[in-house]
Amino acid sequence: MTHNWDGAESGDDRPHYDDEWKDEAARFLYCDIDPEPRIRGIMDVSRCRMWLDIETEKDEPDRETIAVLNQRVHELKQYRQAATDGGSGGTDDDGG
């Protein structure tokens, strides 16, 4: 069994995506390593939602991973809101 630089197994055990960010997410979410440290490093709501899409497309989505991703989306929105307006309102868009 071969491993990529990120520890994910290569081959047909995971889907491959034309989008490089989705393919990166699949490398982490379809292997036998804890994705939580990588999720904590995501700094963009839209990227986090992309990871959620990949996880929920799996035959057996991991509820804990989904919860961690949802928490990260929440944290990023709070951080962005505080950074843009001091936490006194703002929009709920995804930014980029």
pLDDT tens for residues 27-80?
Answer: 899 988 899 999 999 999 999 999 999 999 999 999 999 999 999 999 999 988
Tell me the average pLDDT across 1-17: 60
Predicted pLDDT of residue 3? 43
Q: Examine residue 12 and state whether it is found in any structural domain, yes or no.
A: no
Q: Examine residue 96 and state whether it is found in any structural domain, yes or no.
A: no
3-class SS at 9?
Answer: strand
Which of the two residues, 10 and 12, has the higher pLDDT score? 12
How far apart are alpha carbons 80 and 78 in whole angstroms? 6
What is the number of domains present in the chain?
Answer: 1
Q: Does the CA dihedral 38-43-44-49 come out positive or negative? A: positive
- Return the residue matching tokens 């939602």: 49
Predicted pLDDT of residue 58? 93
Q: Examine residue 6 and state whether it is found in any structural domain, yes or no.
A: no
Enclosing domain of residue 42: 20-85
Q: Examine residue 68 and state whether it is found in any structural domain, yes or no.
A: yes
Residue 38: what are its φ and ψ, rounded to 5°? -70, -40
